[in-house]
Amino acid sequence: MSSINLFGFPIVVLRNVFSQFGPAEIFTISLCSKRTEQNLQYVMRPNTVVLHLTASDENEFTIECSRGRQCLTFRGSSESVDEYEYVVNTNAGSVPVSFSDKTVFVNCKKRVFKAFFKYICNIFRSEIGKLFLWSMTPSSQVPIWVIEWVMCQQESLKSLWILADEVSKENISYIVSKANITEELNLVSNYYKSNANIRMRPMSLRKFESFNSAWFTLENLINLDVETAKVYSTQLTSRNMFLRHWVYGGCGRLLEMYLEFGLRMIVDFNQVLDGIDFKRVEQKKADKYFSEYLSGFVGKDGGFKVRRKSDGKVALLLNNRQKPSFFNLLVDC
């Protein structure tokens, strides 16, 4: 039987052929030879495969690759494995891999992680779209080096999730001041220090969420141009200043804002609305609004309506009687 030189076809034909392949087929073809790996970078259309990377403090990682309904998952660990089927040759060394259905098990040392990540990005011609870093060990930190590596490989990152028992001041500062996140930032940690002096660079996001946010200041809030934001356990006191900032044209993308100040703090609406024109709105039983953040309809309490001077947009400051420590602002709801 005569062989076919797959890469001998015109580039237009090859791109149509490879558009039918899923991540598993593309990865398998890349293992044939170094030349095949290089040819894939010319054949693949950019960013047609979605890449999500998860990494932990225990030198483990997962890369989920999807193209439509076709998926492939890489699960990596630095623990040695006796049996493997193939070897991926990277610039930093050889990486043993083995297959099981739609999962590829990867065995490599931490120093080779970056080279393997780059190999995957290269053969799929795709950037990391979502990055999830986690560490639940009190003495360990999230692998911040992964964010640094991603930022060296691509201009921006769409989505970043951090889940950790504690994140250091230096790591939070790096994330909010240097990492270029464009759509979604979610920080779940136990960093309680209020005098951290962490400054957030101006960020434009679709969604921002932060737990245990004692470090979160008025300056950070004003620098956050976001559609939906949820900030827990903040010690922010200048709520009137933020509302004035919005009334005079700041935070133009804002749709929903949830600030939670802890159980012992109650929002004083007289102080929040001081010097701002408002209209009191009584609660109606059937009055609901669609929450983009919660992706569903939510009952609307009474509150206070304020109008922005620059474009006439109206925001409702909810008088949440069941959660008096919440500052809820809904725009054009």
| In the predicted structure, residue 1 carries a pLDDT above the cut 60 | no
Which of 221, 164, 220, 216 is closest to 188 using CA atoms? 164
Task: Yes or no: say if 179 and 172 are a contact pair by the CB < 8 Å rule.
Answer: no
pLDDT for position 266:
76
* Helix (H), strand (E) at residue 13: helix 11-18
Q: What is the DSSP letter of 255?
A: S
pLDDT for position 158:
96
pLDDT digits (tens, 9 = 90+) for 245-289: 999 888 889 999 888 876 667 778 888 889 888 888 776 654 666
The mean pLDDT value for 179-204 works out to 84
| In the predicted structure, residue 169 carries a pLDDT above the cut 90 | no
The mean pLDDT value for 36-48 works out to 87
**How far, in Å, CA of 328 to CA of 315, rounded?**
10
DSSP line for 103-159: EEEEE--HHHHHHHHHHHHHHHT--EEEEEEEE--TT----HHHHHHHHHHSS-EEE
pLDDT digits (tens, 9 = 90+) for 209-224: 998 888 888 888 899 9
Say how many C-beta atoms besides its own lie within 10 A of residue 202's C-beta. Answer: 8
pLDDT bracket for residue 63 (50, 70, 90):
very high
Q: Compute CA 214 distance to the chain's CA centroid, rounded to the nearest angstrom.
A: 21
pLDDT for position 182:
96
DSSP line for 172-231: HHHHHHTS-EEEEEEEE-----TT----PPPEEEEEEEESS-TT--HHHHHTEEEEEEEE
Residue 82, SS3 per DSSP? coil
| In the predicted structure, residue 148 carries a pLDDT above the cut 90 | yes
pLDDT digits (tens, 9 = 90+) for 127-146: 999 999 988 776 677 888 99
Residue with tokens 């990486």: 95
Per mean pLDDT, which range of 101-115, 165-179, 198-212 is the poorest?
101-115
pLDDT digits (tens, 9 = 90+) for 64-75: 999 988 999 998
* % residues pLDDT > 90 (the chain): 28
pLDDT bracket for residue 110 (50, 70, 90):
confident
pLDDT for position 267:
79
Please give the mean pLDDT across all residues of the chain. 84
Highest mean pLDDT among 2-11, 151-160, 319-328: 151-160
- Distances in whole angstroms, Cα of residue 312 to Cα of each of 8, 258, 326: 61, 22, 25
pLDDT for position 60:
84
